[in-house]
Structure 1
Amino acid sequence: MALRRLESSAGAELFHRSKKGVRLTKAGEVFQQEAKALADQWHRLKESLVRSEEGLTGTYTIGCHPSVAMYSLPPILPSLLSDYPLLRLELQHDLSRKITERVIRGEIDLAIVVNPVRHADLVIRPLRKDQVGFFTSKTASSTNRLRESEKHPGPVLICEPDLIQTQTILRKSKLNFSRTVRTSSLELVAALTEAGAGIGILPG
């Protein structure tokens, strides 16, 4: 009876009936294909509705400099991961300008960078403002203070020279440094500066 009602609703004969059993007619085969497509579409619609209720789902890539990640991600990631249990994150690290280039190329979904470059394909939102400056330990020797002498032509600089902020502050300061200790870790810059190894360039 159920098959008869289905044929009546469809307005066509969908099944060949014989003593050997039941098989689809041409109209029945078309009906089967269309019904399967409709069922698949309904399944996708339900998944979309579930995703809209659950919020963020899927895998997203966040790019940022390692030192930027150290102070910017811990305050936001715990609650983000807790609020969206189906969200998966991948973190990738490099210089801010290289991370920005990868966002423009579509290789990274989201970036936390310093001094972002304006681009037609980017949506930029400020998170915080940092003032970068020179720092020295209170117990630093005269060699590593901001002054020069015949014996000590200049203090030791500890920084990451490739950062735009570093280049900007050095250009404006016009100070002379005898040597430069290069490191990409702001934490190490702070530790070496505190130990009196030199003058560090750090966000304040």
Structure 2
Amino acid sequence: MENFRLRVFRAVAEELSFRKAAEVLHLSQPAVSQHVRALEEEAGVQLFDRARGAGHGSQISLTEAGRVLLRYANAAAETMVEARRSLAALHEEADGPLKLGASTTVAQYLLPRILGAFLKQYPQVKLSLVSGNTEQIVEAVAEKKVELGIIEGPAMRREVKTERMVQDEMVLIVSPNHVWARKGGAIEKKELAKVPLLLRERGSGSRRVVERALKKLGLPLRSLQVAMELDSTEAIISGVEAELGVGFVSLWALGKALRLGTVKVVAVKGLEMRRDFSFVRLAGAEMTGAAAAFQRFALGAAGGGNS
């Protein structure tokens, strides 16, 4: 992909000999000299001092213009190497093992349709999926147990890097029989302190989002009636359906429950809980092969939002 005249120029500049450059490039010496002369004519400058190169095989030297061009030619060559690497990864045939990690909400509600379509397009990929809360998935990435994770909260570790996948919104749900569902409209924030609250377990990304948003609203967790700590979004939805309390869950998780009418979404004045589902990987690690293919595919598949 590199301009061939620049490649010849770099070889001559490195060897400081037309003959040696010709040997490296597997060209004739006249062909090397011709390429260099053509480059000099194109640039309008002399690149080599040939005064010392009259004898057969004797050395030459770079002019000031030659030294300037060499810096740019080397930089251009490095850029082309990076370009080749990126293009190869883009068109790389994804196959072999792919170890993914996903936090609970993502694994249960977002990933299934994406993984089905991905494996249909890349049938040679051998997928393994680990699920857990955000803290557990970040730890799995940091310990190289999975190549790529998808989490629903902040990573909280320096050795990993996150990249947004898609936006999510956490909402308050109640039973259809709850007084808030029957009266309609947004509730005052102080009302939250009067009802049993179902929360995700400590270490959950969803819980961190809820805690931060409530604290910002002036409702620290100690001021609320935490009735249960549950280990999944599905458990919170089931608990709300059974009228054990109210809870905050991802909109991605509510499709079926909202269609069936088993829960209702209730707005809280002044409260908004938006967050990102994010890819997480080792900082400084370059995604290649099946992992890179999956990240590109998932970004495209999730781009339509949570409709």
Interval of TM-score (by shorter of Structure 1 and Structure 2):
0.5 to 0.7
Deviates more, 1:172-181 or 1:86-95: 172-181
2:230 alignment counterpart? 183
How far the C-alpha of 1:154 sits from its partner, in A, is 2.8
Is 1:79 the counterpart of 2:117 in the alignment? yes
Change (3 A) 1:68 1:53: closer
Matches for 1:48-59 after TM superposition, within 5 Å: 55-59=93-97
- Separation in 2, partners of 1:84, 1:54: 11
2:213 alignment counterpart? 169
- Separation in 2, partners of 1:202, 1:72: 14
1:49-107 CA distances to partner (integer Å, 9 max, x unpaired)?
A: xxx98711111111112222111211211111111121111111222122113212322
- Separation in 2, partners of 1:172, 1:53: 46
1:161–1:167 Cα contact (<8 Å) kept: no
Higher relative contact order (CA 8 A, sep 6+): 2
How far the C-alpha of 1:123 sits from its partner, in A, is 4.8
Residue type at the aligned position of 1:187: E
Is 1:159 the counterpart of 2:160 in the alignment? no
Unaligned residue ranges in structure 1 (runs of 5+) = 1-51
Larger Rg: 1
- Number of residue pairs the alignment of both structures matches: 147
1:12 alignment counterpart? none
Change (3 A) 1:80 1:200: same
1:48 alignment counterpart? none
Residue type at the aligned position of 1:196: E
Residue type at the aligned position of 1:197: L
Residue type at the aligned position of 1:64: A
2:184 alignment counterpart? none
Matches for 1:1-204 after TM superposition, within 5 Å: 55-117=93-155, 122-140=160-178, 147=191, 154-162=194-202, 163=204, 164-173=208-217, 174=219, 176-204=223-251
**Whose helix proportion is higher, 1 or 2?**
2
Percentage identity across paired residues of the two chains: 22
Unaligned residue ranges in structure 2 (runs of 5+) = 1-89, 181-186, 252-307
TM normalised by structure 2 equals 0.42
